[in-house]
Amino acid sequence: MRVAVIGAGYVGLIQAVGLAHIGHDVVLAERDAERVAAISAGRSPIYEPGLPELLSATLADKSLTVTTSNIDAVAGAEIVFLALPTPQGNEGEADVSAIFLVADELAPVLPEGCLVVTKSTVPVGTNLEVGVRTGRPVASNPEFLREGSAVTDFMKPDRIVIGAQDRSYVDKLVELYRPIDAPILVTDLVSAEVIKYAANGYLAARVTYANAMANVCEAVGADVRDVLLGIGYDHRIGFSFMRPGPGFGGSCFPKDTRALVKLAADAGYEFSLMRGVIATNEEQLARTFAKVVAAAGGDVRGSRVAVWGLAFKAGTDDVRESPALAIVGRLLDAGADVVAFDPQATVPGISAAPDAMAAVDGAEVLLIATEWPQFQRCDLQAVAARMSGSAIVDARNLLDPTAVKAAGLTYTGVGR
């Protein structure tokens, strides 16, 4: 099928390469010319395992082409996917202006009968409005990929959600995704829009529950890892998204939880549970920062702090709303001398060491902020030898406290 994808970010790039890989003829449009040049040359602008190989293969067999022109991309398309950013607006709502801008831009040139499908996470009513603006049939097909395993998630999704007003639109998408073996949930437009927020709100709440339980464990002297194992074996509860840490972050959970509160409030429902999740998450960040300050002796001014990890989670180079960055920001504001190392992410304005060991040189405190597995395998004796102080704040519970103490270092984890 001839398909256009507008927006070559995490979602659009994976969608375009994935659809090309399963046999469709895809044109990917992106307004950032540098990004287009990189993708056209076979260089992935994001770190995502498996993506470079698929990108090269789909460019080589010409199933994927890339352009800076949205208008050129939709010529002859049967389906147009919108994979545009929906950042947080001033009052917590999702800002859908990029979606409407592109809908207005494309309206005069969209082929007759072409289906316009939103992949972006959008509030209730957005798809209907896209339909009004484009004068074309619309469908909602929210994205559930996880950064770090996005290619696998495209090929083997837990489910495909399709929201549409008319069955014939659904059939087109079912046909498109035929090579992919996954349950397909067909629903109305509004329910599809809500499903995406409901999923992210729930996952954020699970992470927050684990964080709050860790804080209870710290208060009463329990080990949160055993507590979460003890409840996770209960099949009603399980283990995923139940790892305590410095608070959730990333490009989706923070903005989507706020947008969920806002869309509920706009419809007359006060979502106090979700407000609690957001507030508890902010407290978790503050708590992690306070642990670093305590580890530095009560004041970080002038202290050298090594930070391992900048990405919002392991497996990605994405630093959007990363808890690591939020804590580094507070440390810098408090006068700390921060040196960071992340295997994939670099951030302008934050001093970066060439490797994890170089980051700890002369550090009074080491903060582990992202759960990259290589940090778990570090040589603790070498860390102790290279630090000037002896405190490790392990905001991801990556290290074994006994081994840390055996190396002559002090250990502060989360809920243990």
Ligand X SMILES: NC(=O)c1ccc[n+]([C@@H]2O[C@H](COP(=O)([O-])OP(=O)(O)OC[C@H]3O[C@@H](n4cnc5c(N)ncnc54)[C@H](O)[C@@H]3O)[C@@H](O)[C@H]2O)c1
161 binds ligand X (CB under 6 A): no
Distance between the two ends of the chain, CA-based, in angstroms?
54
Q: What is the Cα–Cα distance from 260 to 225, expressed in whole angstroms?
A: 30
Tell me whether residue 145 or residue 264 sits nearer to ligand X (CB atom): 145
Tell me whether residue 161 or residue 228 sits nearer to ligand X (CB atom): 161
User: Which residue, chain included where needed, has tokens 């046909």?
Assistant: 175
Tell me whether residue 31 or residue 275 sits nearer to ligand X (CB atom): 31
Q: What is the Cα–Cα distance from 304 to 292, expressed in whole angstroms?
A: 11
Interface mask toward ligand X for 9-48; x: CB under 6 A: xxxx----------------xxxx--x-------------
Contacts with 253 (C-beta within 8 Å, 6 or more apart), sequence order? 200, 203, 204, 207, 321
Residues belonging to the chain: 416
Q: What is the Cα–Cα distance from 23 to 73, expressed in whole angstroms?
A: 18
Interface mask toward ligand X for 239-258; x: CB under 6 A: ------------xx------
Identify whether 252 is a catalytic site residue: yes
Closest contact distance (angstroms) between CB of 280 and ligand X is 22
Closest contact distance (angstroms) between CB of 262 and ligand X is 14
Helix (H) or strand (E) holding 154: helix 150-155
SS3 content of the chain, % helix, strand, coil (to 5): 45, 15, 40
203 binds ligand X (CB under 6 A): no
Contacts with 247 (C-beta within 8 Å, 6 or more apart), sequence order? 211, 281, 282, 284, 285, 288, 323, 326
Which residue number is nearest to ligand X in terms of Cβ?
A: 9
Segment near ligand X (CB under 6 A), from 7-15, 302-310, 346-354, 368-376? 7-15
Q: What is the Cα–Cα distance from 211 to 206, expressed in whole angstroms?
A: 9
Closest contact distance (angstroms) between CB of 167 and ligand X is 25
- Bridging pattern class, strands 337-341 and 304-308: parallel
Interface mask toward ligand X for 54-93; x: CB under 6 A: ----------------x------------xxxx-------
Tell me whether residue 22 or residue 199 sits nearer to ligand X (CB atom): 199
Interface mask toward ligand X for 91-130; x: CB under 6 A: -------x--xx----------------xxx---------
Catalytic residues: 252
Residues in touch with ligand X (CB under 6 A): 6-12, 29-32, 35, 70, 83-86, 98, 101-102, 119-121, 143, 145, 147, 251-252
